Structure 1
């Protein structure tokens, strides 16, 4: 005999409404029609559903705010258009709600302590985490708090329950396959930080493409996604591999730095060296030459993270998302 108690989803199915509507009825929220209330109440009675009192208590103590936590303490972070576009997406969705946005930079111990204080004091109703590195403690801190948490991207060491990510590996592979299709054989890469899921995935996409084509995967230099690191890595590649004829760069910011070095060294792009970036930030079409790049829907990443968190706050069980990427061909490759 099955004695398993009914779930929120089963109540919603019986009532013919969403799980979010069930949660709003249970928590006496506004903006629920009388018809939906009656349907939910009847379903609860029919199924013998017992609401989680702890969840109801938490819902009644909502702070009306969510926190976006970025694993960085670099003041130059906000000059990085990737993060600016993510925040734009987050804000676009929050404008349709009564929720406010808190922003926290938390790579240092001091930043992590501030995050811990927010969690302990229940200063936010939910958490969004971005730019986590391998073994980053922020993920476990959020998990242990019991607050709903959505990750932007994934970490290398653990798969979060709820995340929104882009197809980094597939996008990188497509970029390198494009270089191969144009006849390039001595292909280099400038990686992002390899202790991040995005950095490692883009590197693996590069390796897959060149190895499958029977080409060398040894022309590698490492960056940290910043423009300055892209310039430094490009110098190393030109010194160590003067025969290179193309380079896949794991971010547009680094590609901008690489293009500057190629001009300094008298290399014509794309005649001597073709360049492909990743992200398709706004400035990619204004570089000289305009940058061929892999477009990931950055603003959509912020929007979908926020929508997922709101669904969690409403008692729903959303599904994690992998957003598609697209190769945008311009003049640099």
Structure 2
């Protein structure tokens, strides 16, 4: 029987030092993207899988533990209602199986801290939430052999099983609703362009407008916070003074946009129609109540947790990457 490849052999095949190969495995940010891909290509060619401590060995707990790794800074994790809904639903599924959920954050800057315990076998599976382009951890996890389920589509070029919303169709529904409302000067506040969900919402929105013959759509970018929505709305009013509609990629940003419009003396929806995204609690609490694209957050989380449990139980590659439908909820704002 052929011995499994070692990390030193992977390093030699990739043309890097063993120390560099090790840094790639632990998600260190001190490794260039090209070097990271060289190492992972070598791992794939050689069939290298990071070996973990066997269950029941000294110092190793006997029960399953799942980590929810949120690829955001802690302030957003604790201030954004989306994460509370998502994590609560995940925890509920795992609790019925007696499995604890450990919460971790991992920005690109902290991936070198988060990565090593995951690679060393501290957990049995990972729910990876919201990874963005050029984040080192998804690439590392993809080659690790650890069961992973991405909540949201992973960055382009990273092969990980996922569950996602149909964000592109959500953007389409928002655009078509504004067009049906006879809005002529339509603008949008998009989310971070490195986040696949934000890109999909923007592209679905733009494509629906292009299909209707609207080729120019002013776009401002925010980071899903109230302040960024308010600032983006101010920028859009300067860029397109006659705007009569705005689609914001989150309800929180839409609420910020409405505040800016109100301060500028613009009425909603009389002067400007506003559509948000999420159907978060804020959508019902703002005045006027917010028309929005509802995404089934709890269903997404429940399905992701169940599919990860199936992978833990059965092993092997997942059969599907489900994409859940979104739904336009029409209220008073547009």
Tell me, in whole angstroms, the C-alpha distance in 1 between the residues paired with 2:205 and 2:56. 46
Kept after mapping to 2: 8 A contact 1:119/1:145? no
Kept after mapping to 2: 8 A contact 1:193/1:222? yes
Kept after mapping to 2: 8 A contact 1:292/1:330? yes
Segments of structure 2 that go 5 or more residues without pairing to the other structure are 1-50
Segments of structure 1 that go 5 or more residues without pairing to the other structure are 1-53
Tell me, in whole angstroms, the C-alpha distance in 1 between the residues paired with 2:143 and 2:155. 19
Partner of 2:182: 183
Partner of 1:163: 162
Q: CA deviation at 1:56?
A: 12
Partner of 1:126: 125
The alpha-carbon distance between structure 1 residues 90 and 252, as it changes in their structure 2 partners (threshold 3 A), is same
Tell me, in whole angstroms, the C-alpha distance in 2 between the residues paired with 1:293 and 1:204. 17
Partner of 2:210: 211
Tell me, in whole angstroms, the C-alpha distance in 2 between the residues paired with 1:207 and 1:92. 37
Tell me, in whole angstroms, the C-alpha distance in 2 between the residues paired with 1:59 and 1:128. 23
Aligned CA RMSD, in angstroms, stands at 1.9
Partner of 2:298: 299
The alpha-carbon distance between structure 1 residues 318 and 272, as it changes in their structure 2 partners (threshold 3 A), is same
Question: Higher Cα Rg: structure 1 or 2?
Answer: 1
**Count of residues paired in the alignment:** 279
Tell me, in whole angstroms, the C-alpha distance in 1 between the residues paired with 2:72 and 2:196. 15
Kept after mapping to 2: 8 A contact 1:188/1:244? yes
Q: CA deviation at 1:108?
A: 4.3
Q: CA deviation at 1:206?
A: 1.3
Tell me the secondary structure at the aligned position of residue 293 of structure 2.
Answer: strand
1:1-333 correspondence runs (5 A): 57=54, 62-109=62-109, 111-315=110-314, 317-333=318-334
Q: CA deviation at 1:162?
A: 1.2
Query: TM-score normalised to the size of structure 1?
Result: 0.80
Query: TM-score normalised to the size of structure 2?
Result: 0.79
Tell me, in whole angstroms, the C-alpha distance in 1 between the residues paired with 2:272 and 2:248. 12
Q: CA deviation at 1:216?
A: 3.7
Q: CA deviation at 1:76?
A: 3.6
Worse overlay, 57-66 or 294-303: 57-66
1:194-226 CA-partner distances (Å, limit 9, x unpaired): 111111101101111111111243311111111
Tell me, in whole angstroms, the C-alpha distance in 2 between the residues paired with 1:250 and 1:120. 34
Kept after mapping to 2: 8 A contact 1:64/1:124? yes
1:115-139 CA-partner distances (Å, limit 9, x unpaired): 2222232110000111111121111
Tell me, in whole angstroms, the C-alpha distance in 1 between the residues paired with 2:56 and 2:82. 33
The alpha-carbon distance between structure 1 residues 131 and 268, as it changes in their structure 2 partners (threshold 3 A), is same
Tell me, in whole angstroms, the C-alpha distance in 2 between the residues paired with 1:229 and 1:154. 24
Q: CA deviation at 1:319?
A: 2.0
Worse overlay, 244-253 or 314-323: 314-323
Kept after mapping to 1: 8 A contact 2:108/2:136? no
Tell me, in whole angstroms, the C-alpha distance in 1 between the residues paired with 2:240 and 2:218. 7
Kept after mapping to 2: 8 A contact 1:63/1:125? no
